[in-house]
Structure 1
Amino acid sequence: MNAPADLFRWPLAAIARALRDGSLTARAMLSHFQDRIERLNPVVNAFAWLDPAAHRAADVSDEHLRAGRPRSELEGIPVAVKDNLLVAGQPATWGSPLYQHYRPTHDELPVARLRAAGAILIGKTNVPEFTLQGYTCNPLFGASRNPWNPALTPGGSSGGAAAAVAAGLVPLALCTDGGGSIRRPAALTHLLGFKPSTGRLARHGGFPALLLDCEVVGPIARSTEGARRLFECLAGPSPLDPSSFALPPAPAAHGVRRRIHYVDHLPPHPVDRGIQAACLQGMRRLEALGHTVTHGPLPFDVSEVDAAWSQLGGIGLALLARRDPEFAHQASPAFVDLARAGAALSAADLLACLETLQAFRRTVRAAFAGVDIIATPCSAAPPWPATEIYPGTIDGASAAPRSHAAFTGWVNACGHPAISLPVADDPAAGLAGLQLIGDFGADRALLDLAQRYETAHPWTQHWPALATAP
């Protein structure tokens, strides 16, 4: 059986129906996406490694489907896995020469759940070294490139995953988000990226948590429906992750209409005016759907948590350096320096960071008593050259190294769920994502809101020319 030539364009629900009614096999679908990867990955450099034995998992899925016993809604669906997540038997380089020969013998918890759901783990997607940068380039595999313009970056640190989904190389990707690493690449490639609440998707058995519990796993997808399918397959507590039992009941919804507060800039960081215009249009559309929209500054200060945030990565790298004597010789010099700076901090400095995080979480949760959603632009900058770490200017103004990421890091610090929605009417002319941040634990309500927006203003009809070329 051959898959239709336009299968990569199909909604995930249509693919799942075809698998269940027998008009499509998992093996044929896998071959379809592998052919696309062979043709397009040399251009976008999305995948760092492909599983040569993926067809065996597809054959097992076909057996389950023929027997009428699919293991989940992801049975037989190819899913890419970011290269900082551990998959048994597959490389996990974390984008660093330090781990270039590392092949874990176990799946970390979310990967194990994905495998048990019947998803086909097709391969590993490219990341920046230690997933601590907002573009995607490393000494092992080079730079990933944006399918909308291969001269530009797809962002980071899930840039390889975003490039893979945007180019139609795979329907879904499992990623991590420690400071916007799912949401910003999604915004820069016209995709949906979802960062769940801390603890919503249980974690265990992976690389050391450089950013503590601020880093979570989540999906990059073309549609809300695709993101929801992956989310629901992975959601639920586990005794291996005590934080997964700490979530409150879903916050009470104030009817279908939401109280949305829009924040268009975070001084002193500049924001691209095209992104601002697209996000403002997105807010008008939400208002037209019946939601109450207010405009103004963030209802809390993020400066203290930003200062603490800048120390956490160095402290985490110092732990890696302590555990592995090869770190100083194998890691790139910038990260060796950052690890040394982290090692120079004291236990009191770490405790102060933790206290700042906890205080910030209390402040943000109190602020959500007055709103249901805080909305912002997702990335403050459009895509920039693929081999540059960050854009030095945004909208003609000088930009700091993390200015492009100003809107996303604080959301990881507070632990709330957030989603990036494509809001550009013509993504070939300019890419933009609108970030919606929900109350802690209100993950499904946030997905519901995204689905209502997508139903009224669909975006999946837009594809990069690279993806649709014969």
Structure 2
Amino acid sequence: MSATEAGEAWRLTATELLCAYRAGTLTPAAVLDAALARIARLDPALNAVVALSPTAREEAARSTARWAAGMPRGPLDGVPVMVKDNMIVAGMPATFGSALFADRPQDEDELPIRRLRKAGAIVVAKTNTPEFAVEGYTGNRLFGVTRNPFDPDLTPGGSSGGSVAAVAAGFVPLALGTDGGGSTRRPAAYTGLVGLKPGIGAIARAGGLPQILMDFEVVGTFARSAADTRLLYEALAGPDRADPASRERAVAPPRAPLRILHVERIDGAPCDRSILAAVARTADALRGLGHTVVPGDLPVDTAGLAALWPAIAEMGLARLMQREAAFAALASPRYVEMAERGRAHPATTLLATLETVAAVRAQTSALFADVDLVLMPACAAMPWPAAEPFPTEIDGHPVGPRGHAVYTGWVNAAGHPAVSLPCPVDGLPIGAQLIGDLGAEPLLLDIAEAYADAVPLFPRWPAMAQTNAPNAGA
């Protein structure tokens, strides 16, 4: 194998890397060395990576030996993966983007990471996230701001912005994020990736950091292809007794052709017109695959949920402050203020939240009696300046902190699965999300693969990914 071949491995998907390992034209050790060199060269322009694994080279050497012996460990053996810094990986920090957790060594993997290792994947690095993963951009006082590979002046979204920037720049073919209110689907949309948000319980969780957004947050996946998305999801999915929510999974039987409800707007909220046009092209592509796509309104009380969303995050931070004695001293002032507001909310606010979430879940359940999928934008705004937490205006209308995120949070509250797929565009990437019934992850993976035949996923690399300059595109 030549150095040139190893140096070009960044262009390959995980599926293609596995084929190369099997054929003996690449080795995990050589691929890892090339990835680490690429990170050192290009990450100064992006700031996606916050920590490198101290054991990755040793793991890659063992994987190389297994492939040489014809005995790969699992379906991801030797594939380099990055993990968002709010997930626990043994031997690495799990800072949550905050000084509060920065100096705590982690001795054990949380459950999804154990499954990742069992499949043979190599965790290369941790990726940046906003503090406590409750923002729609990616930046914090510990590590600074993460930038979008397609335009480093702009945000890759959040809170999984480090993970998407790493995959879109070709550091690794796969990455993990989390999604509590859209943090898989929106960043994937801004970087041209496939971003899967499984339903609650589809990927069992245990042993991780505290949850801020009730039970809404799930582990999400990022990849440049639909086949890689399936590969990673299937390595992670399945029940575990440590997570009771994972043990009872409804399975939605698919119909043919699929009935897809196309929702343009939610509650009259503004949406960038270029996004609406891009999602309309996605609807046309789905019709071209033989599915029935019908425009309509979403019969779910998203407005009631949106009104309570700030209180949900504030109460979650208040509970974290109650648990962590050093919170007020070490967390950023913005989040201390949010926690103080959360502590002031009465029990009636919590009860109203629980009632609203229950209603959203019932309404969403009823919705999928009549349709198989819901199509809508993943984001209401195009990417904005990287250091700003949110856009203040969309389509000429002033918006608040979650104006860009109106399409995603209700799916988390409902507990349903969704996938963000790149729209057919010529300029900056944007994504459309498809939401399915409970247990519809296999259906979403199927339609993603069929869609990829009609609309090439990740059709072009960002310019900075194809240059050696450390400040390329900045």
TM range (shorter): over 0.9
Superposition deviation, residue 423 in structure 1: 0.7
Q: Does 1:307 align with 2:338?
A: no
- How far apart in 2 are the matches of 1:306 and 1:381? 17
Q: Which residue of 1 aligns with 2:101?
A: 99
AA aligned to 1:460 is F
* Identity, % of aligned positions: 49
| Distance (Å, rounded) in 2 between the aligned partners of 1:291 and 1:136 | 36
Which residue matches 2:269? 269
Are 1:56 and 2:54 counterparts? no
SS at 1:80 equivalent: strand
Number of residue pairs aligned between Structure 1 and Structure 2: 466
Matched, 1:450 2:409: no
- The one-letter code sitting in structure 1 at the alignment partner of 2:70 is G
Shift of 1:432: 1.2
Give me the whole-angstrom Cα distance separating, in 1, the residues matched to 2:373 and 2:277. Answer: 20
Report what 1:85 is aligned to. 87
Q: Find the residue that maps to 1:168 and give its secondary structure.
A: coil
What one-letter code is carried by the residue in structure 1 that aligns with 2:156?
Answer: P
What is the alpha-carbon distance in structure 2 between the residues aligned to residue 233 and residue 67 of structure 1?
A: 22
Larger deviation, residues 5-14 vs 260-269: 5-14
Quote the Cα distance in structure 2 between the aligned partners of 1:407 and 1:368: 17
Counterpart of 1:369, as a letter, is: A
> Aligned to 1:122, what secondary structure does the other structure show?
strand
Deviations 1:228-270 (A, max 9, x none): 111000111001101001211x211112x21001111113421
Match of 2:46 in 1: 44
1:299–1:367 CA contact under 8 A, matched in 2: yes
The answer to whether 1:253 aligns with 2:254 is yes
Report the Cα offset of residue 431 of structure 1: 2.3
Letter of the 1:403 counterpart: G
Aligned twin of 2:368: 368
3-state SS in 2 of match to 1:180? coil
Counterpart Cα distance in 1 of 2:304 and 2:418: 21
Kindly provide the CA deviation profile for residues 130-169 of structure 1, in whole angstroms up to 9, marking residues without a partner as x. Answer: 0000000000000000000101000000000011001111
Stretches of structure 2 lacking an aligned partner (at least 5 in a row):
469-474
The one-letter code matched in structure 1 to 2:319 is L
Q: Give the match for residue 74 of structure 2.
A: 72
| One-letter amino acid of the counterpart of residue 328, structure 2 | A
**Hey, what does 1:233 align to over in structure 2?**
235
**1:27-426 matches, cutoff 5 A:** 27-248=29-250, 250-255=251-256, 257-426=257-426
The reply to whether residue 441 of structure 1 matches residue 439 of structure 2 is: yes
Query: Which residue of the partner structure matches residue 12 of structure 2?
Result: 10
In 2, distance between residues paired with 1:461 and 1:151?
21
Taking the aligned partners of 1:322 and 1:12, their CA distance within structure 2 comes to 42
Determine the C-alpha separation between the residues in 1 that align with 2:293 and 2:46: 38
Amino acid at match of 1:464: P
- CA RMSD in angstroms, aligned pairs only: 1.2
After TM superposition, give the deviation of residue 4 of structure 1 in Å. Answer: 3.3
| TM-score after normalising by structure 1 | 0.97
Change (3 A) 1:461 1:431: closer
User: Residue 472 of structure 2 aligns with which residue?
Assistant: none
C-alpha displacement at 1:343, in angstroms?
Answer: 1.1
- Give the distance between the partners of 2:108 and 2:348, measured in 1 at CA: 35
- Distance of 1:106 and 1:309 partners within structure 2: 32
Residue 401 of structure 1: CA displacement? 1.3
Query: What's the secondary structure of 1:169's corresponding residue?
Result: coil
Instruction: List per-residue Cα deviations over 1:349-396 (Å, max 9, x = no partner).
Output: 323322221221111111111100011011111110000000011122
The TM-score, its normalising length taken from structure 2, stands at 0.96
Report how far residue 13 of structure 1 moved. 1.7
Q: By how many angstroms is 1:78 displaced? A: 0.4
Q: Which runs of 5+ in 1 are unaligned?
A: none
User: How many angstroms does 1:51 deviate by?
Assistant: 1.3
Q: Deviations for 1:381-415, whole angstroms, at most 9, x for unmatched residues?
A: 11100000000111222122101000000000001
Q: Distance in 2 between matches of 1:59 and 1:212?
A: 40
Partners of 2:48 and 2:146 within 8 A in 1: yes
